[in-house]
Amino acid sequence: MYEQTLSFAWLSEAFDQLLDGAWLTILLSLQAIVLGCLIAIIGAWAKSSGPRWLGIVFGVYVEVIRNTPFLLQLFFFFFGLPTLGIYLSPTNTALLAMVVNLGAYATEIIRAGVESVPHGQTEAGAALGFGPFQVFLLIVLVPALQVIYPPLAGQFTMILLGSSLAAAISANELTSVANSIASANFRTIEVYVVVTFIYLVIVFAFRILFAVCYNLFLARGPRERMGVL
């Protein structure tokens, strides 16, 4: 009979490592959010009012990404791109996979929001002499943002949580650091308890950021303020 007792004595030693990992997780997520949204805006435009062929291309992209696991997408980019002669570091591969993944989900969210904007507004925009992409950006997208912001913020959280899988392709984000620490000190449960808590803190920090952005730029009045929970 042997006894297993929890111990957190390793924490002070591993703290810097965990901080580095957490920072990379945050950085990857922020970059993925910005770049993913860019793809999504183009995708939403292509699917709702762009040229037909481009709409089909984005349609296939969205369906393929949304119906396959992120873990496989990571494997694909990491082991597949070299056969095309493209070599990216694990961190950049993880970022690429996150951007592509988020881009697909956000395309669908933004498209749904855009299509909820009444037709009259688009026509009014065209009458003011704006080009088609300008109409889309200024007349359609900005009003739609109010509707699509909450689901979009939810999707941002999902990609942050998804970044934990990048450990499988040796990117040194938080989960990867956790695995390394656990494989050196075998305090497996303790390490994962601490890291889960760190994720919780990061996610809530992101949610506060999202809510602040919404309340500053998008909320039309105090009754529409976005909360964190």
Partner 1 sequence: MKRLLGMVISVCLGAVGLAATAEAQDLSDIIKRGEIVVGVDMTTPPWGYLNAQQQPDGFGVALGQQLADSLKVKLKVEQVTGPTRIPTLLAGRADVIISTLSITAERAAQVWFTNPYAPNALVLIAPQAKKVAGFADTAGMKIAVPRGSPQDQIVTANATKATILRFDDDAGSLQALVTGQADLLGAGMLVPPALNQMDPGKSYEAKFTLSSPYMAMAVAPGRTNLLNYLNTFLFLQKQSGKLEEISQQYLKVTLGQLPTL
Partner 2 sequence: MIHQLGPNDFLYILSATRWTLLLSAFAIVGGAIVGLLLVTMRLVTFRPLGWLAIGYVQFFQATPPLMQLFLVFYGGSLFGIRFEAWTAALIAFSLYSSAYLCDIWIGCIRAIPKHQWEGSRALSFPEPLTILLVVAPQALKISVPPTVGFLVQLIKTTSLAAIIGFVELVRAGQFINNSTLRPLIVYGFVACIYFVLCWPLSLWGQSLERKLGRSQKRA
Q: Would you tell me which residues interact with partner 2 (CB under 8 A)?
A: 4, 6, 63-64, 66-72, 75-76, 79-80, 83, 157, 161-162, 164-165, 168, 175, 188-189, 192-193, 195-196, 199-200, 203-204, 207, 229
* 9 token code pair: 């004595």
Q: How far apart are CA 70 and CA 43, in angstroms?
A: 20
Contact by Cβ (8 Å): 100, 65: yes
176 binds, among partner 2, partner 1, none (CB under 5 to 8 A by kind): partner 1
Find the shortest distance in angstroms from Cβ 67 to partner 2: 4
1 binds, among partner 2, partner 1, none (CB under 5 to 8 A by kind): partner 1
E strand residue ranges, 119-173: none
Give the residue carrying structure tokens 């009003």.
143
* 97 token code pair: 């996979």
* 38 token code pair: 């860019």
Among 21, 43, 90, 162, binds partner 1 (CB under 8 A): 90
Site for partner 1 in 181-210 (CB under 8 A): 182-184, 186, 188, 193, 197, 200, 204
Q: How far is CA 51 from its chain centroid?
A: 27
227: phi then psi, degrees, rounded to nearest 5: -95, 180
124 binds, among partner 2, partner 1, none (CB under 5 to 8 A by kind): none
Total residues at the site for partner 1 (CB under 8 A)?
33
